[in-house]
A and B are shown apart, each in its own frame.
Chain A
């Protein structure tokens, strides 16, 4: 449960409030008063992190005491001093990232992350500049904890602010593209950042990586991204992939079918329906499992009934009935109510058995 509390507050890390403190900045979508280009002009990351042992000592004590308000006051000065201040903060964060315990407190303890959120939300342009600065300074090190921290938080910040920090957004997008290309960093974190940012890489780029994806994790992350896009273009890519693999038992095909089943775009429903009715070997088997992988209403019983009354294999029918028992009891009951209409006696027996087992599980 503490984890949940942290989860709510973690994303505030790096981000506002002392009562009565002046609010700096514009509303989301308005141009930033301090374009992040200022950071670039100053030579992003070119300034080495500045180590100030006295400040570091104070900050460590504040973190150890979980004194969020004190930490806010300590960090606010450098944050408002522009690039020289960012260099100081870079030194602070770099030092803390080598201290596992304090880094963990900095990035997850709710009193600390709350304070950082307050600082950042009161000084948004400066926070954007600082993040952009740190992002550039740590870019060459995909294992940098600061970089991981930024990739976790910056997309949420940038999405909220729309077009307010275009330079930073563009740099982050490029970095995410690079990570997908090279496999640097944690792939799951990269796709989570793509989702948080609401970033839509060119569809050709996604297509290329879906074609080359060879691990189940990579396939699922890419099809998950297409689910998020949830549009005709994404559906077309999924269909094209299914057709090109031409094997309805392949993991990639099944991942594409599951993605189609979760999408709301009308093209997705139409595509899935075509596989449900397809005479191609295995097509209906994969499609029906993908379709009933989600909770459906009893109005979907006709789809299950049609499959069960088809020439599908007993193994395929058992897999569907198992899926219905797991997530779609109403559908299972609706099918069981019409069990006498199923032509094959063995299938009738199977349906009755799974329906009885479903009732017992309740």
Chain B
């Protein structure tokens, strides 16, 4: 849903929103507390007003930053939380539903920030809200994992472990930082997480090369540690996706090799892969310190079709 669409669905009392905006502009803590309390105690009608206020602040992003960083604004909202915990729980539930199809909403970010602390403090007082938050976490991951760091903190505080597969969509988002955090969360999940990483490696169509390398390295290291085999890398070296094949081949040289690896590396050097990447393979072999691999490749240098690569391979330095 668009931002404008979301706002449209939620709005009724413009005058109250204007009043809240005025208190925000003036950093008027008592005024903000009084108006928010009035809306909070009205039930759903008031919740809609507060949602609209938060949403409009989000649209004018500096305002939501002011609201969540200014001392007097924070004081006012926390006082509300302290004095009306049940009503705040209802409002939070409303906000979770109201922002359900808008994962980038800053309101959701603040819910991930605040709600686990609130729920832990109140023990088992709000079981339904806890379930809503858990479902929200899974949903947020399915929608691409906006605020994934906050999500992981919320999971930790709630001691909630959604199925590792929930992180799979986040690995494929363009936001590298988000994908990297999802990767770390999956690594921390051990075997269950690696199964998801394997699924990612097997299905990704246009991967981020850096992330793919981290994923394959994690899978290879874990496999080698357990069984001294490298079936994942060996299989992906013959993958139909060039990017996957390239990353797997470059990684493979960092692991112990037998005689069968050399012909596969020569095959890579003769492939249609971009020249810089084929050069990178030779440089990586030289840097790997695996003397037997370098010697084997040099012995097979005559099979390398590119004169430039052949020379690079045979260079002493």
Contact = CB atoms under 8 A, between A and B. Distances in A.
B71 interface: yes
B121 A157 contact: no
A16 B69 CA distance: 20
A160 interface: yes
Contacts of B122: 18-19, 69
B29 interface: yes
Contacts of A157: 75
Contact of A68 (B72, B86, B120, B149): B120
B280 interface: no
Interface string A330-357: 0000000000000000000000000000
Interface stretch (A115-123, A131-139, A200-208): A115-123
Given A5-B153, A17-B85, A121-B82, A11 B121 contact: no
Contacts of A322: none
A8 B117 CA distance: 12
B152 to A, nearest CB: 10
Contacts of A111: 117, 120-121, 157
B162 to A, nearest CB: 20
B117 A11 contact: no
B76 to A, nearest CB: 7
A160 to B, nearest CB: 4
A19 B125 contact: yes
Interface string A292-318: 000000000000000000000000000
A121 B78 contact: yes
Interface in A249-298: none
Given A5-B113, A159-B72, A160-B75, A121 B83 contact: yes
Given A69-B121, A110-B117, A156 B72 contact: yes
A11 B153 CA distance: 20
B74 interface: yes
Contacts of A8: 68-69, 74, 113
Q: Which of B71, B113, B121 has the most CB of A within 10 A?
A: B121
A156 B75 contact: yes
Interface string A86-118: 000000000000000000000000110011011
A85 B34 CA distance: 31
B79 interface: yes
B30 interface: yes
A28 interface: yes
Given A5-B153, A11-B74, A122 B86 contact: no
Given A11-B74, A118-B121, A159 B83 contact: no
Nearest to A113: B117
Interface in A14-60: 15-19, 23, 27-29
Nearest to A121: B82
B81 interface: yes
B127 interface: no
Interface residues of B, number: 30
A196 B30 CA distance: 14
A129 B118 CA distance: 26
Interface in B270-310: none
B82 A117 contact: yes
Interface in A118-152: 118, 121-122
A9 interface: yes
Interface string A159-194: 111100000000000000000000000000000000
B74 A28 contact: no
B317 to A, nearest CB: 36
Given A2-B153, A115-B121, A121 B30 contact: no
Q: Which of A18, A29, A157, A196 has the most CB of B within 10 A?
A: A18
Contact of B29 (A5, A69, A159): A159
Interface SS of B by simple majority:
helix
Contacts of A83: none
Contact of A196 (B71, B79, B85): B71
Contacts of B86: 19
Contacts of B123: 69
Interface string B90-131: 000000000000000000000001000110111101000000
A121 B34 CA distance: 15
B177 to A, nearest CB: 11
B54 interface: no
Contacts of A5: 113, 153
Contacts of B82: 15-17, 117-118, 121-122
Contacts of A9: 117
A16 B83 contact: yes
Contacts of A28: 29-30, 33
Contact of B121 (A114, A121, A122): A114
B237 to A, nearest CB: 38
A11 B81 CA distance: 14
Contacts of A156: 71-72, 75
A140 to B, nearest CB: 28
Nearest to B110: A8
Interface string B132-171: 0000000000000000011001000100000000000000
Contacts of A159: 29, 71-72
Nearest to B123: A69
Contacts of B113: 5, 8
Interface string B58-81: 000000000011011011101101
A117 B78 contact: yes
B81 A17 contact: yes
A324 interface: no
A121 B83 CA distance: 7
A160 B83 contact: no
A12 interface: yes
A122 B75 CA distance: 13
A2 B150 CA distance: 9
Nearest to A196: B71
A19 B119 CA distance: 12
Given A1-B153, A8-B68, 18 more contacts: A8-B74, A11-B74, A11-B75, A16-B79, A16-B83, A17-B81, A23-B83, A28-B30, A29-B30, A69-B121, A111-B117, A117-B82, A121-B78, A160-B33, A160-B75, A160-B76, A161-B30, A162-B30
